[in-house]
Amino acid sequence: MIPVIRPFLGEEEALAAAEVVRSGWVAQGPRVAAFEQAFAESAGAAQGIAVSNCTTGLHLSLHLLGVGPGDEVVVPSFSFIATANAVKYVGATPVFADVDAETGNVTAETVDAAVTPRTVAVIAVHQGGVPFDVDSVQALCDKRGIALVHDSACAAGSTYRGKPVSSGAGLAAWSFHPRKLLTTGEGGMVTTENAEWATRLRKLREHGMSMSAADRHAAGGVKLEQYEEVGFNFRMTDMQAAVGLIQLRKLPDVIAKRRELAGRYHKLLGELDGLRCVGDPEYGTTNYQSFWVVLPDAFEGTSVDVLAGLAERGVSARRGIMASHLEPAYADQRDVELPVTEHLTRRSVILPLFHQMTEAEQDTVVGALDAVLRGSK
């Protein structure tokens, strides 16, 4: 079976993790600090704050901004449910916005349509690694006096107007889940340009402690920490960070290979009548974290039919990006009108794409999809 994704991990990562184990310092420590700095530089950000995953990064970002009960945060429904859940964690209400049919991202127009007097923030997602139009969404948020948080979970290595995708963002949250191009198993990062925010975020991720365990150990002598506010346990381990440092060095080659394979997909799948493939918007480039396609209008089956047909032919695919407002957890918000979101989630599938993929495997995927769309047995 050809998988949707195969993490690109090897001996270097294994040795880096083993070195941490041998060092005796495995919790958050010097390698986390090194990874924070290296990732921030790669992302074009002033500060990096390592966390346990992207969801906790979004949670911390909203907590930092003071978002809470009575507030509304505009989010896309067309996203993994964690985007909306982070709003719930701080007691606020997620308000779903529709997305652009080509990019799968919110726009200034779709966000504006969802803003109310209670809106205090927007979480905009670089969906599947496709950058959203940052300048226009930021301009809207500035005009409305609301904060913008980037959900950059899938976007490491994507670009916006020639720069790293969330370069200069006030707050951006990143994921290092195994499905991402850069993985630490689990793990995440918050990047920001605000040094004061970074200092507070580092305290908040570690129970609100005034001095981290690593800093207390390095200082020597008797140092008693204080707990200045109620915080969280959202730390990354040095083992994860050691793997992340190796992965970060590989990232440019991984992206180049994925874009090469995506280009080949575009050429081959372009011959399937009516099929539309995800691609670069005019203002940036995608890292192709996910290669999703929208099924032809003439195809009378469903995306589930396509997934089943591909599986029968040895290809593991996934449903397109979920529509969170259609999930049971958000049943109370199903009356919202999101026609583009619902069309994309029902008519799209994610095809296999990974660094080690061969042309023969791609040919198998394309052939299988062609057969399913034609109704072949």
**Could you tell me the two tokens for 270?**
């372009």
Report CA 137 to chain centroid distance, whole Å. Answer: 18
Report CA-CA distances (Å) from 367 to 269, 271, 345. 9, 11, 23
Active-site pick, 180, 223, 257, 267: 180
For the question of residue 267 being annotated catalytic, the response is no
106: alpha, beta or left? (left if phi > 0; alpha if psi -120 to 50): beta
Kindly write down the DSSP assignment for every residue of 260-303, as one continuous string.
HHHHHHHHHHTTSTT-EE----TTEE---SSEEEEPPTT--S-H
Report CA-CA distances (Å) from 249 to 39, 88, 155, 157, 369. 10, 36, 16, 12, 34
Whole-angstrom distance, CA of residue 69 vs CA of residue 63? 11
Q: Are 125 and 97 in contact (CB under 8 A)?
A: no
Residues with Cβ within 8 Å of 263's Cβ and at least 6 positions away in sequence, in order, are: none
321: DSSP letter: S
- DSSP-derived 3-state class of residue 154: coil
Whole-angstrom distance, CA of residue 353 vs CA of residue 207? 39
353: DSSP letter: -
229: DSSP letter: S
Residues with active-site annotation: 180
